[in-house]
Chains A and B, each alone.
Chain A
Amino acid sequence: MPDNAQRQLPESRTDTPAASGLEKTRAKTAWLFLAPTLVTLLLIALWPLLHTFVFSFTDASLADLSAYRFIGFDNYLQRLDGEWVGLLTDDGWWRAVRNTLFFTVVSVTLETIVGMAIALVLHQTFPGRGIVRAAVLIPWAVPTIVSTKMWSWMMNDQFGVINHGLMALGLLSEPLAWTSDPDLMMASVLMVDVWKAAPFMALLILAALQMLPADCYEAARVDGIHPVKVFFKVTLPLIRPALMVAVIFRAMDALRVFDVIYVLTSNNIKTMTMAIYVRQQLVEFQMTGYGSAASTLLFMIIAGCIAMYIALGRVRFDAE
């Protein structure tokens, strides 16, 4: 990424001593222009991150954040009365980690498939395409809390339109409690998330499709190659870089998911994610130290997932 836009600077700038002076002045200007942004980011990103990290080694409580002791790794793991306790032995935490990973893998996969299908349809020419392309933006534009409440109402066990519709179609014999039946909760959450995020995926994939050269499709058509084969042999490899980046953006969002699940199923253990676990410890149980330890692990797990994905998928952010 950094290099492509560094257009050729005029030759003279690098040759004469005056030019290198100019270069220095410009570098100084650059830092001056960056200073307000960097100071702000240090204050609101780095400082809270470090502070959270420090809190994780203390017994701080939300009620009084100024009085705390350093307790080393006790929040993570300690031996108490002959037993190992701490976050690393906490089943609730590991269940939250598993839920989050499950949610991420399933939601991102579904969103990629649905998004791809929508993008392929919208890439065709047909009357009214503009309207459909606009309509597809609506789920993305609806605030997450609102879309969650809308679906929550549609999934209502007694009066919801989903049960009503499915029963009218004969697909269900009795209404399901989508948001309160522990076995259905995760499916419900996924349904809402896919509805909201698949259009975003579709937009990114569509943008990539529109950049593809038309001539290789022309050639494939002339040669009479089956469209499905064209898709897997031509389209998919060509849009792969864009797809990988879109997937990573979605995965980042899914790994930190909080609002959809918190509003739809509250603190239920069946759908509790890492973010919900952390907030429960920090705010509801007021355990700043323990919650910060979970925060720190969450950060490391997400960073690890992303690093692994980039390494395995050989994602190149600077690919053009």
Chain B
Amino acid sequence: MKKFFGRLAFAVLVTVIMLYAVFPFYYAIVSSMKPASQLFRVDYFPSQWYWGNYVSVFREQPFAANILNSVLVATSVVALSLLLGVTAAYALARIRFKGRGLLLATILGVSMFPQVAVLSGMYSLIKALGLYNKLPALSLSYMLFTLPFTVWLLTTFMRGLPQELEDAATMDGASPWVIVTRIFIPLMWPAMVTTGLLAFIAAWNEFLFALTFTLTEDVRTVPVAIALISGASEHELPWGNIMAASVIVTVPVVALVLIFRRRIVSGLTAGAVKG
């Protein structure tokens, strides 16, 4: 009997955790499929398949452009960070030189940087480079957090690879560049997928820089576009549109995260627990 109640309590606990994790997003999906007139009633289940909000969110603002902007910025940030990160990680993980420990600590420090602490300096840099209200401004400024994080994570992963391969290649007279491109990158691709995915998510979600360094609707990224969807007044926010937009930009990320679940968890724990 005691065992039965123990099990029951545990099952309730699991259900509560499950509901807590899933309900807000589920409720957003349900709300996104309701016409404005029905939004004022609370429903826990979808009553109809109504796609009007999904149409109007694209019609009432350049949301397609916003999505494209986010994809372009996040992809370019990931590509650049991985390219720079993998060479830097090779040096930090495999070569012993003076100042390596200090350098690693500095890079970890920069990855934890409060972005707002560099806001005015970054603003003036972007102005000086003529990038204000242009997408490259975001690509450049996002490297502030993706690059150190990529270097750190790839260094952690690269240290886990066997030394013998590299020694054998060195014996055969391979140059470091050949070692990196021919031996490490093929071995590292799972780590690079993980790191790239985490960097992509970070860039996809970024808000402060995107809000500050862009001005016009067509240059906005998705988070800024969603945050600034407005109605006739503060009390008439078009919640249907906001929920539809939220679902559109979240589904791909959630799908990616669930597909690469194991990799992402290993990446997060490698970055933090071992870090």
Contact = CB atoms under 8 A, between A and B. Distances in A.
Interface of A: 1-2, 5-7, 9-10, 23, 26-27, 29-31, 33-34, 36-38, 40-41, 43-45, 47-53, 55, 60, 62, 65, 118, 121, 124, 126, 128, 132-147, 149-151, 153-154, 156, 158-161, 164-165, 195, 199-200, 203-204, 207-208, 242, 245-246, 249, 252, 255-256, 258-259, 262-263, 274-275, 278-279, 282-283, 288, 291-292, 295-296, 298-299, 302, 306, 317, 320
A47 B121 contact: yes
A295 B39 contact: no
A26 B95 contact: yes
A99 to B, nearest CB: 14
B204 to A, nearest CB: 7
A160 B239 CA distance: 11
A249 B21 contact: no
A159 B39 contact: yes
B115 interface: yes
Contacts of A137: 257-258, 261, 264-265
B119 A150 contact: no
Interface stretch (B45-53, B56-64, B81-89): B81-89
A153 B258 contact: no
Dominant secondary structure of chain B at its interface with chain A: helix
22 contacts: A31-B97, A34-B87, A34-B88, A37-B151, A48-B144, A65-B123, A134-B258, A136-B17, A141-B201, A145-B224, A146-B226, A150-B25, A195-B24, A200-B268, A203-B265, A207-B269, A245-B273, A246-B273, A258-B207, A274-B116, A278-B119, A291-B119
B196 interface: no
A45 B97 contact: no
Contact of A259 (B124, B208, B265, B269): B208
B88 A44 contact: no
B97 A282 contact: no
Contact of B21 (A26, A135, A283, A317): A135
Contact of B118 (A23, A48, A139, A283): A48
Nearest to A241: B273
Contacts of A275: 114, 116, 208
A33 B175 CA distance: 12
B208 A252 contact: no
Contacts of B249: 143, 146
Contact of A142 (B13, B95, B250): B250
Given A47-B121, A143-B205, A292-B120, A150 B246 contact: yes
Nearest to A136: B21
B91 A31 contact: yes
A52 B121 contact: yes
B93 interface: yes
B22 to A, nearest CB: 5
Q: Counting chain B CB atoms within 10 Å of each CB, which of A6, A143, A154, A288 scores highest?
A: A143
A143 B221 CA distance: 12
B79 interface: no
Contact of B272 (A143, A161, A246, A291): A246
B120 A147 contact: no
B145 to A, nearest CB: 9
Which 4 A/B pairs are nearest by Cβ-Cβ distance? A48-B121, A51-B121, A256-B114, A5-B159
Given A132-B17, A200-B268, A153 B31 contact: yes
Contact of B95 (A27, A199, A278): A27
A138 B21 contact: yes
Residue from A2, A43, A153, A317 having most chain B Cβ neighbours under 10 A: A153
Contact of B127 (A31, A65, A249): A65
